[in-house]
């Protein structure tokens, strides 16, 4: 057995990458790495009890080269008695349609193709040809992009259904194997293009770091990734336990219990938020995570993220959701919660408020007793100051009033924040508008200018209750 085959076999056994009887899909490109992987897995298949299929993804980006690559991979798979699949992927169209990079679109479509083939052949694993040099480059790239500990742990030997049996092998070991086994491979010309960050790291940055700073840099980076992976596994276990205590999933919203969140160490808070972003199908960024940590600890406000995602505090929880769907609109969050309504009240009477499933009883009465004034479900205003018709509507940005027993004029939104009224309920609180001015927030507060005084002769009594409730005067 070749030394590289033995190394890959040990990886498969030590890391439990495969089980006897597994159907394995191998991603092949015709390049040295994937051709070595194909031959190694074919050599190990009888011992491991595997059924193999090779898949070549034609991205349609290099029409002068891909026919030779497809021919080589197809012929070599046939020579090894390995099943074969291929597909032409509309990479440029996807990149233009979704406004993403060619590289991003190619990766998405490639893995989607692999997933389809895996479903077809009932494969439980997808083997890809990342190796130790790739790992070192990946750690550098993630460091340049500002990744945290989890990112700097690099690629895993196994992540979900994807396995990387060559991850401990160097590029030189792979080239030696190809030479020893007389295996043909092709070189992708795009690997020499400095258009891509990965190529610039491999061709320019890594050689200089190795030459001028540390000849063993690749080994150091791979060891660092291995150490961080072990620590990352422990942190993942802690995060999983904290997730059960802290996170609640409700339809299309993710709710974070602020009290439980506050008790978590900072490292776990960051990981919880990373997991929350991934759950919401968003890529987490360090700035976004720190902004939410600040939101959880500071005064309530709303954070706007891309594509309609928002985060806000409400009733002891921090909520992450898209209240208006996936849109780039930046309307105030309050405008999006609850129905928009406005009703004209021509005078005393009983009025249905269908948008709220409530009804409003409007009466003219004698001035109330002090005990009646303390009832939260009824508002009393000085009738002499009311000019019918009045309007009942919900809150709008810019509304102000001077709350009774308050220091002065205040924004209605700030009043609701101070009184811890959840944002999801604010649009359901009816405002009484008299002569264009907010006279009362029904069942909440009245404007001090409309208060009952010793000089009040008649009062306007406003009773808001459920539709089914029978009113008794």
Domain with CATH 3.30.465.60 in the chain: 251-330
Q: Which CATH number fits domain 251-330: 3.40.50.2000, 3.40.30.10, 3.40.190.10, 3.30.465.60?
A: 3.30.465.60
pLDDT value at position 406? 83
Q: Tens digit of pLDDT for each residue in 299-349?
A: 667 888 888 888 988 778 899 988 767 765 554 444 444 557 899 999 999
Euclidean distance between the first and final Cα of the chain, in Å?
95
pLDDT value at position 7? 97
Domain with CATH 3.40.50.620 in the chain: 3-224
Q: Tens digit of pLDDT for each residue in 446-457?
A: 999 999 999 999
Q: Tens digit of pLDDT for each residue in 18-45?
A: 999 999 999 999 999 999 999 999 999 9
Lowest mean pLDDT among 30-44, 54-68, 148-162: 148-162
Residue located via tokens 């895996």: 118
Better-predicted residue by pLDDT, 347 or 465? 347
Q: Tens digit of pLDDT for each residue in 164-208?
A: 999 999 999 999 999 999 999 999 888 888 988 899 999 999 999
Task: Give residues with Cβ within 8 angstroms of 89, minimum separation 6.
Answer: 57, 58, 59, 60, 106, 109, 110, 113
pLDDT value at position 303? 85
Whole-angstrom distance, CA of residue 104 vs CA of residue 403? 54
Whole-angstrom distance, CA of residue 195 vs CA of residue 197? 7
pTM of the model: 0.64
pLDDT at 469 over 60: no
Q: Tens digit of pLDDT for each residue in 250-277?
A: 878 899 999 999 999 999 999 999 999 9
Return the CATH architecture of domain 342-466: 3-Layer(bba) Sandwich (3.50)
Q: Report the DSSP beta bridge partners of residue 345.
A: 390
pLDDT at 470 over 70: no
Whole-angstrom distance, CA of residue 292 vs CA of residue 321? 13
Q: How far is CA 390 from the centre of its chain?
A: 45
Residue 45, preceding bond cis, omega within 30 degrees?
no
Lowest mean pLDDT among 215-224, 315-324, 377-386: 315-324
Q: Tens digit of pLDDT for each residue in 102-115?
A: 989 999 999 999 99
76, 176, 329 from 306: Cα distances, Å: 46, 48, 9
Mean pLDDT, to the nearest integer, of 213-228? 95
pLDDT value at position 334? 42
* H runs (alpha helix) in 280-381: 286-297, 370-373
Q: Where residue 473 falls among pLDDT bands split at 50, 70, 90?
A: very low
Domain with CATH 3.50.40.10 in the chain: 342-466
In order, the DSSP letters of 66-134 are: HHHHHHHHHHHHHHTT-EEEEEE--HHHHHHHHT--HHHHHHHHHHHHHHHHHHHHT-SEEE----HHH
Whole-angstrom distance, CA of residue 280 vs CA of residue 309? 9
Better-predicted residue by pLDDT, 359 or 338? 359
Q: Tens digit of pLDDT for each residue in 366-375?
A: 999 988 888 8
Q: Where residue 379 falls among pLDDT bands split at 50, 70, 90?
A: very high
Whole-angstrom distance, CA of residue 292 vs CA of residue 290? 5
Q: What are phi and psi of 397, to 5 degrees?
A: -55, 135
389 and 345 Cβ atoms separated by less than 8 Å: yes
Q: Tens digit of pLDDT for each residue in 405-444?
A: 888 899 998 898 888 887 767 888 999 999 999 999 999 9
Mean pLDDT of the chain: 90
Mean pLDDT, to the nearest integer, of 347-362? 90
3-224 CATH? 3.40.50.620
């Amino acid at each position: 057995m070749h030394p590289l085959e033995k190394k890959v076999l040990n990886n498969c056994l030590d890391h439990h990458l495969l089980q006897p009887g597994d159907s394995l899909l191998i991603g092949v490109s015709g390049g040295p790495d994937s051709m070595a992987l194909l031959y190694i897995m074919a050599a190990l298949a009888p011992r491991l009890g595997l059924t193999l299929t090779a898949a070549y993804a034609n991205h349609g980006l290099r029409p002068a080269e891909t026919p030779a690559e497809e021919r080589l991979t197809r012929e070599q798979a046939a020579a090894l008695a390995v099943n074969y699949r291929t597909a032409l992927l509309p990479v440029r169209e996807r990149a233009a349609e979704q406004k993403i990079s060619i590289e991003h679109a190619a990766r998405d479509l490639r893995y989607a193709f692999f997933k389809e083939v895996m479903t077809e052949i009932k494969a439980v694993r997808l083997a890809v040809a990342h190796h130790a040099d790739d790992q070192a480059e990946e750690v550098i790239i993630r460091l340049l992009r500002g990744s945290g500990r989890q990112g700097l742990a690099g690629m895993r030997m196994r992540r979900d259904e994807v396995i990387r049996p060559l991850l401990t092998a160097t590029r030189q070991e792979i080239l030696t194997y190809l030479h020893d086994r007389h295996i043909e491979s092709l070189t992708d010309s795009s690997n020499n293009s400095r258009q891509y960050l990965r190529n610039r790291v491999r061709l320019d940055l890594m050689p200089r770091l190795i030459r001028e700073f540390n000849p063993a840099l690749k080994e150091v980076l791979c060891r660092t990734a291995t150490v961080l992976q072990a620590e990352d596994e422990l942190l993942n276990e802690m995060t999983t336990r904290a997730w059960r205590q802290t996170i609640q999933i409700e339809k299309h919203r993710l709710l974070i219990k602020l009290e439980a969140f506050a008790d978590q160490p900072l490292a776990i808070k960051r990981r919880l938020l990373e997991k929350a972003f991934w759950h919401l199908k968003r890529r987490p960024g360090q700035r976004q995570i720190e902004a939410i940590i600040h939101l959880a600890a500071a005064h309530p406000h709303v954070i706007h993220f891309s594509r309609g995602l928002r985060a806000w505090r409400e009733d002891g929880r921090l909520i992450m959701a898209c209240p208006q769907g996936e849109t780039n609109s930046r309307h105030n969050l309050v405008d999006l919660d609850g129905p928009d309504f406005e009703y004209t009240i021509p005078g005393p009477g009983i009025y249905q408020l269908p948008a709220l499933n409530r009804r409003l009883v409007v009466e003219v009465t004698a001035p109330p007793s002090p005990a009646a004034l303390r009832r939260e479900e009824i508002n009393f205003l000085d009738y002499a100051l009311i000019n019918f018709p009045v309007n009942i509507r919900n809150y709008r940005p810019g509304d102000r009033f001077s709350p009774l027993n308050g220091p002065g004029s205040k924004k209605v939104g700030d009043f609701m924040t101070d009184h811890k009224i959840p944002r999801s309920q604010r649009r359901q609180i009816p405002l009484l508008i008299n002569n264009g001015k907010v006279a009362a927030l029904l069942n909440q507060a009245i404007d001090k200018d409309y208060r009952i005084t010793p000089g009040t002769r008649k009062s306007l009594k406003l009773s808001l209750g459920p539709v089914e409730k029978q009113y008794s005067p």
